[in-house]
Structure 1
Amino acid sequence: MAAPELPGFGPGTVVIGAGQGGQYTIQSLIGRGANGTVYLVRTAGGQTAALKAGPEKPELKAEVEVLAALKKRELESGVRRSFLLDADRFRIDGRSVPFYVMKYVRGMPIDAFVRKYGHRQIGAAGLSLLERLAGLHRAGFIFGDLKPCHVLVEEGGGVELVDYGGASALGGGVKQYSGWYDRKYWNAGERTADPGYDLFAFAVLCLHVFDEPGLSRLDRGLLPQTRSAEDLVKLAGAIPALKPFEPWLVRALRGSFPGSREAYAHWKAICRLHPVRAGRASSGMLAAAFCGSLVLLGAVLYAAFSL
């Protein structure tokens, strides 16, 4: 169920944070989801960003807490690419509306990116994704609801995670999950927030991207009680394009990685053995393709983000 409308949040509205004083001019509505409404905004400095506002709900507060913890961890590590830009409250018509401002990601879902630029691109994109997941795990959370629409590949080839509504504290229960990407759905483990949950989901994401019909047939052919990680392992071994990554996928599906750092290192070693030659997805052509579709991709990104 989508969040209720926010009266007064229309194009031209200047949102001023009551605590931090940040100013954001609303440009347009991007999308609405259960935890809030997302708007395209322009900062006081003229930068494009996205603002998510909503009613007083613990889910929205939890998203901000996750992003704040991740930002703190990144700053301590010398990384300055935080997704969270600001978090505050806006007073309007006697009401106090919580909001947070995030980086506006110009990119496309990872499945669309790989299909457009070739299956070899999964190497670099996967490495960047694993780096982001490892950073989140170090900050004390898992992403939880990992699926293609929540993984965006940017113009420069980097990956950004969007929609942290499913992020869960390590050791707790998984708050949000989606069918195929949930290891309990496959009787491969519990819905406990540990790094292995995200790694399992990424392995299934690879199967989905490279053989969605095969994954769908596998699912339809099994009873809920007979699904298993070994069924996914067999499918992984039957996809030629994923052959170099089969050992990694098997370990992730079976839950045998001790942590995300080891998973990242293993994936990186595979990429070194199978480097991608310059091609269609390199520099000029990739940049041109992204620039030619920024508006459409931005709409797709945040429509997916807010659901």
Structure 2
Amino acid sequence: MMNNTLKSLSKLSPGTSIRGKWHQKEYIVVKQLGFGANGIVYLVRDGTRPAALKISDNSSSITTEVNVLKSFTKVQGSALGPSLYDVDDWEQVGQRNSFYVMEYIKGPDLLSYIQGKGNEWLGVLMLQLLNDLEVLHRNGWVFGDLKPENLIVTGPPARVRCIDVGGTTLKGRAIKEFTEFYDRGYWGLGGRKADESYDLFAVAMVIINTAYPKRFNKTTGGLSQIMQMVKQKSELKLFEGVIQKALEGQYLSASEMRKDVLQTLQPSKRQRRSKQTQHKPNSQQTRVKKNAGKAKKKGSLLETVLLIASISIIYLFYIYSQIL
């Protein structure tokens, strides 16, 4: 529930000028983008460029979120969170509120993107997300409130970005913000202490969410209910093993989970050997039957090669060209 100060901050009308006390930069409110327990986010004009401004009466909350954004910028190649532009205070009559200005990330949310582009993009985007979570975790933070609404896909090339770091928590502390469906505590599968496996549980639930856009309610709870729902969706079969390991807390790092996701996306050597064996002529056959079957073998082998090539184009080329 909002306090009175936040309520007043949530009513800023388009055209309102917010000028920083210390840096004297001016931002013009365009519209409200969202609000939460710790602040209000507005789309603003920063000169000629659009930007997102988060304002709050809780200066410590703003400081924490700013530190998270700074931790992203310290590591080259990480683009999970928005770039930080400015940090300042806004003084009104007898009142001072803290704010920060960040990059305005525009695009469809993760679920909308997957529904529009196809489920084959899920693996690619999860690889990106896990790579950036690894960076975040190494810098001592856990994302906490990880959910599709906070994940925006920009591009081309397609890139998953986060628009809200309000739930990000230092490792070892209690999770500050969470959404029940993605929270392991809600499902009875762990506590709310900030660690790597908390985020990885949420990643698994995000994957499940793509097959259940409206989510589903907890009944019996626990691993059995979630995995029963997973087994009912054919589009989740590819990730079933990864999902179960993440729900059970078996992954010690995002890089471990990422490695497993990558392996599920690559055509296995075992599958290719199996296909080739199916089309290999029997040494017991006569020379006549062997020659007669050559054309059929070549056609089947060509189909196998084309299948592997198409999968490689979608996954491997994209992964190694755009991500690694």
The two structures have a TM-score, normalised by structure 2, of 0.74
Q: Structure 1 CA distance, aligned partners of 2:52 and 2:163?
A: 11
| Counterpart-to-counterpart distance in 2, 1:88 and 1:241 | 46
Partner of 1:86: 86
Moved more, 242-251 or 22-31: 22-31
C-alpha distance in 2, partners of 1:174/1:183? Answer: 11
Q: Distance in 2 between matches of 1:59 and 1:41?
A: 21
For 1:78 and 1:153, the matched residues in 2 are separated by 17
Q: Distance in 1 between matches of 2:203 and 2:10?
A: 39
1:167 has 2:161 as partner: no
**SS of structure 1 residue aligned to 2:15:** coil
**8 A Cα contact 1:106 1:155, kept in partner:** no
Classify the secondary structure of the residue corresponding to 1:96: strand
Contact 1:147 1:205 in 2 (8 A): yes
Give, in angstroms, the shift of residue 30 of structure 1. 2.8
Report the Cα offset of residue 8 of structure 1.
9.4
Structure 1 residue 81 displacement after superposition: 7.7
Of 34, 41, 47, the match for 1:38: 41
Question: Residue type of the partner of 1:70?
Answer: F
Aligned to 1:61: 63
Distance 2:15 2:313 in 1: 46
Q: Which residue of 1 aligns with 2:28?
A: 25
Pairwise mapping of residues 192-271 of structure 1 onto structure 2 (< 5 A)? Answer: 192-211=193-212, 216=216, 219-220=218-219, 222=220, 227-271=221-265
Which of residues 51, 57, 69 in structure 2 aligns to 1:49?
51
Q: 2:15 aligns with which of 2, 8, 12?
A: 12
Residue 232 of structure 1 and its aligned partner are, at CA, apart by: 2.1
CA pair 54-11 structure 1, distance change in 2 beyond 3 A: same
- Partner SS state of residue 256, structure 1: coil
Structure 1 residue 264: Cα displacement: 1.9
Contact 1:35 1:57 in 2 (8 A): no
State the 1:259 CA deviation.
0.7
Q: Which residue identity lines up with residue 254 of structure 1 in the other structure? A: E
Find the counterpart in structure 1 of residue 147 from structure 2.
147
Q: Provide the C-alpha distance between the structure 2 equivalents of 1:151 and 1:209, rounded to a whole number of angstroms.
A: 13
Aligned-partner residue type, residue 12 of structure 1: G
For residues 81 and 162 of structure 1, do their structure 2 counterparts lie closer, same or farther at Cα, with a shift above 3 Å needed? closer
1:8 to 1:211, Cα distance in 2 relative to 1, 3 A: closer
Number of matched pairs? 268
Shift, 1:255, TM fit: 0.8
Secondary structure at 1:66 match in 2: helix
Q: Does the CA contact (< 8 Å) of 2:81 and 2:162 recur in 1?
A: no
Listed as ranges, the matches of 1:174-185 within 5 Å are 174-185=175-186
Equivalent residue for 2:296? Answer: none
Deviations 1:155-209 (A, max 9, x none): 3211111222211111111111121211122221111101111111111121122
**In 2, Cα distance between the equivalents of 1:268 and 1:198?**
18
Tell me, in whole angstroms, the C-alpha distance in 2 between the residues paired with 1:276 and 1:212.
28
Instruction: Tell me which residue corresponds to 1:191.
Output: 192
Kept in 1: contact 2:80–2:132 (CA 8 A): no
Q: What amino acid is aligned across from residue 231 of structure 2 in structure 1?
A: G
Contact 1:108-1:154 at 8 Å conserved across structures = yes
Change in CA separation of 1:28 and 1:234 when aligned onto 2, cut-off 3 Å? closer
Q: Any idea what the Cα deviations from partners look like across 1:12-62, whole Å, max 9, x if unmatched?
A: 344332333433222233333322222211213x21111111213533332
Where does residue 96 of structure 2 map in the other structure?
96
The answer for the alignment partner of 1:295 in structure 2 is none
TM norm structure 1: 0.78
SS at match of 1:165: coil
What is the one-letter code of the residue matched to 1:236? Answer: V
User: Using the alignment, how far apart are the partners of 1:79 and 1:167 within structure 2?
Assistant: 16
Please tell me the residue identity of whatever aligns with 1:95: Q
In 2: Cα distance, 1:115 partner to 1:239 partner:
15
User: For residues 11 and 276 of structure 1, what CA distance do their matches in structure 2 show?
Assistant: 48
Determine which structure has greater relative contact order: mean sequence separation of CA pairs < 8 Å that are 6+ residues apart, divided by chain length. Answer: 1
State whether residues 80 and 129 of structure 2, in contact with CA within 8 Å, keep that contact through their aligned partners in structure 1. Answer: no
Determine if contact 1:132/1:161 at 8 Å carries over to the other structure: no
